[in-house]
């Protein structure tokens, strides 16, 4: 009986803790977004984040997209040939890439690359009192550190995903033409005929949301980092894990909103 009570108590406490942390993240997000619209604006920081988050993520996202597109063509061909439906390869490649795989995989890659580095950088600044120093020099840490990162994350990920779309579809095309002996003209026209605006738009919307989530979680965990190297380490792990999970959850939610 006491065992049952105890475990109920534990579950209750965990649930309350979970709800409390959702509240804290939401409050942090509200604060951060509020500061986006009020100056002063730190343009130089924003540009640096555009480079860090956007430009330097290109190789990772490009390679991910390329091989995903290639393997997609190969898999769908071998799978569909069982039903004599090889003709659907082009359609499957372009729809899977634009709607799902480019945004989700790019989001996860960026969560690992950017989310971790944001959390580590801001966490280190917290631990070494650099964030406190900002306040004493009359600069709001939200405006100086958080806003540029969240803006860059939200704006850069759609661009990355758009490029990823192109590269991924190109990867599928390469395999289809050179390995699977599809005709160039028919493959291209099939791809083009299948694609609708909403496929790309939904993918880019996902990208923007994922970019926001990744940078938000990086900033949140870094900003609230515990003390010492251990604190920063935990912040980094939490940032990557929480943003990856949020990406998967929101991926479902956004798909539901767009396609049902």
Catalog residues that contact another protein under the rule CB under 8 A.
Answer: 40, 125, 128-130, 132-133, 135-140, 144
Cβ-based neighbours of 218, under 8 Å, separated by 6 or more: 114, 115, 116, 117, 118, 119, 122, 149, 239, 243
Q: Please state the closest distance from residue 44 (CB atom) to another protein, in A.
A: 10
For another protein, give the closer residue by CB, 75 or 130.
Answer: 130
One DSSP character per residue, 141-209 reads HIIIIIHHHHHHHHHHHHHHHHHHHHHHHHHHHHHHHHTS---HHHHHHHHHHH--HHHHHHHHHHHHH
Cβ-based neighbours of 125, under 8 Å, separated by 6 or more: 131, 145, 222
Q: Please state the closest distance from residue 68 (CB atom) to another protein, in A.
A: 34
For another protein, give the closer residue by CB, 15 or 133.
Answer: 133
Q: Please state the closest distance from residue 125 (CB atom) to another protein, in A.
A: 8
For another protein, give the closer residue by CB, 52 or 165.
Answer: 52
For another protein, give the closer residue by CB, 148 or 164.
Answer: 148
Q: Please state the closest distance from residue 70 (CB atom) to another protein, in A.
A: 39
Place of tokens 């919307």: 205
125 Cα distance to chain centroid:
24
Tell me the C-alpha distance between 140 and 138, whole Å.
6
For another protein, give the closer residue by CB, 143 or 206.
Answer: 143
Q: Please state the closest distance from residue 15 (CB atom) to another protein, in A.
A: 23
């Amino acid at each position: 009986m006491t065992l049952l009570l105890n475990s109920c108590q534990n579950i209750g406490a965990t649930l309350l803790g979970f709800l409390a942390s959702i509240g804290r993240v939401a409050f942090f997000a509200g604060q951060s977004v509020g500061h986006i619209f009020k100056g002063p604006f730190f343009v130089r920081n924003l540009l640096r984040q555009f480079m860090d988050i956007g430009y330097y993520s290109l190789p990772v996202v490009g390679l991910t997209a390329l091989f995903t597109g290639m393997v997609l063509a190969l898999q769908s061909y071998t799978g569909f040939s069982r039903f004599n439906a090889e003709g659907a390869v082009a359609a499957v490649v372009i729809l899977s890439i634009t709607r799902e795989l480019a945004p989700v995989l790019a989001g996860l890659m960026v969560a690992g690359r950017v989310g971790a580095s944001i959390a580590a950088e801001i966490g280190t600044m917290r631990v070494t009192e650099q964030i406190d120093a900002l306040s004493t020099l009359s600069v709001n840490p939200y405006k100086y550190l958080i806003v540029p990162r969240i803006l860059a994350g939200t704006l850069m990920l759609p661009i990355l995903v758009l490029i990823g779309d192109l590269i991924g579809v190109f990867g599928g095309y390469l395999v289809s033409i050179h390995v699977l002996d599809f005709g160039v003209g028919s493959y291209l026209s099939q791809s083009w005929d299948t694609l609708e605006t909403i496929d790309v738009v939904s993918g880019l919307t996902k990208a923007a949301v994922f970019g926001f989530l990744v940078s938000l979680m990086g900033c949140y965990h870094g900003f609230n980092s515990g003390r010492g190297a251990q604190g920063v380490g935990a912040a980094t792990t939490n940032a990557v894990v929480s943003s990856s999970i949020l990406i998967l959850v929101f991926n479902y939610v956004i798909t539901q909103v767009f396609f049902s």
